[in-house]
Structure 1
Amino acid sequence: MGVMPTPPLSRPLTLEDFEAIRDVEDGHRYELIDGVLVVTPSPVPRHQQVVTELLFLLRSTITPGHRVYAAPLDVRLGTDTVVQPDLLVAAPATVTAGWVDGPPALVVEVLSPSTRSFDLGAKLLRYEQAGTPSYWVVDPDEPSLRAWELDADGYREVARAAGDEVAELARPWPLRVVPADLAAGDLPGPVGPSL
């Protein structure tokens, strides 16, 4: 476990600053959004259950020319932005030995108390600005799914489903998602401090 260096206070962080800062094994997720360091706690089991179910669904329906990845995996969206979405779908040409370079075809974030406003605010905006074609947000507590697709005017919401409703999605390939199926199981709801 390394010692976290002090970040510069007089300017936005760069990729070099970010690499030095996050070289610490402390159980947190480190991301850089427009030069601002964002640190969140490790996910809880309910969050990871939804990620696992979605990963399985995406992998079992994948079409040629795509790869599916789960966090932690860096996605570099610029010289001042490195994110680690919960799930992503990327073209093989964008995947390097260490990260995904540029916007993935799909980004999925699973909400938690500490990331809800971030995932629905700053991250949504940053993915839109970077040109990410599809962005999904899953709320494991409701359960629900919201999906946006990029067009010439920016993101537009193309699906919203809760419980047993079916979200019919066209990108990155045709797919049906039932939010209740993602959160099914015998795991309890949030208890104590959670992501």
Structure 2
Amino acid sequence: MQETSQKFTYRDYCSIPDDGKQHEIIDGDHYVNPAPGTYHQTVSRKIQFQLFAQIELPERGFVYDAPTDLQLSEHDIVQPDIVVVLAKNKSIITPTKIKGVPDLVIEILSPSTVKNDRERKFSLYQRCEVPEYWLVDPEEHVISQFVLQAKAYHQLSSASNEIRPHFIEDAIVDLRQVW
């Protein structure tokens, strides 16, 4: 991951050439990550498909995967592995990006993104008041579920068999189908 000294805005972000890497802006700092590996993408797809079947197909909301831009502010543009926006909040979805706070963000840890996902993005999502954040550890086969309460994340669960989004009671991700 590389960091540059220039403070970036959304306009600067849009001028970055497509080089096959993941570019993100957090607090105006530019971070570059390599493309995710195949196991990472497999885990992401298996979680996304389960959420898609239970949230998007019954028209309860929308499920997006990377590289979808999530603009949380003029100086915070990230590409989470999975983003969920409930139908009641669909106004934040534009033709080119999600501009605003989604209902759930999911990040899948990779060796090159552990610090970013556990620290920078955790702080960013908490500061921007994303209601729910999942950190997926594909090596340990566990998902840590954080829910925002009083403007701070509290760990609701650490799951290895199944996990339920906090905002939709009857939705469930069967992790035995993920690992």
Q: Does 1:13 align with 2:8?
A: yes
- Which of these two proteins has the greater Rg computed from alpha carbons? 1
Distance in 1 separating the partners of 2:104 and 2:67 = 16
- The answer for the alignment partner of 1:81 in structure 2 is 76
Q: Find the partner of 1:99 among 97, 100, 107.
A: 97
Question: Could you tell me whether the CA contact under 8 Å between 1:32 and 1:80 is conserved in 2?
Answer: yes
Aligned length: 172
Q: Find the partner of 2:47 among 44, 54, 62.
A: 54
If the length of structure 1 is used for normalisation, what is the TM-score? 0.81
Counterpart AA for 1:18? Y
Question: Could you tell me whether the CA contact under 8 Å between 1:106 and 1:172 is conserved in 2?
Answer: no
Give the drift of 1:142: 1.4
What is the SS of the residue equivalent to 1:67?
strand
Question: Could you tell me whether the CA contact under 8 Å between 1:159 and 1:168 is conserved in 2?
Answer: no
If the length of structure 2 is used for normalisation, what is the TM-score? 0.88
What is the SS of the residue equivalent to 2:91?
helix
Further displaced range: 107-116 or 84-93: 84-93
State percent identity of aligned pairs: 31
Q: Find the partner of 2:27 among 31, 34, 39.
A: 34
Counterpart AA for 2:19? D
What is the SS of the residue equivalent to 1:137?
strand
Q: 1:103 to 1:153 in 2, by over 3 A?
A: closer
- The answer for the alignment partner of 1:166 in structure 2 is 162
Q: Find the partner of 2:117 among 105, 116, 119.
A: 119
The alignment's C-alpha RMSD in Å is 1.9
Give the drift of 1:154: 1.0
Give the drift of 1:172: 4.5
Counterpart AA for 2:113? T
Runs of 4+ aligned structure 1 residues displaced above 2 Å come to: 165-181
- The answer for the alignment partner of 2:134 in structure 1 is 136
What is the SS of the residue equivalent to 2:167?
coil
Counterpart AA for 2:22? R
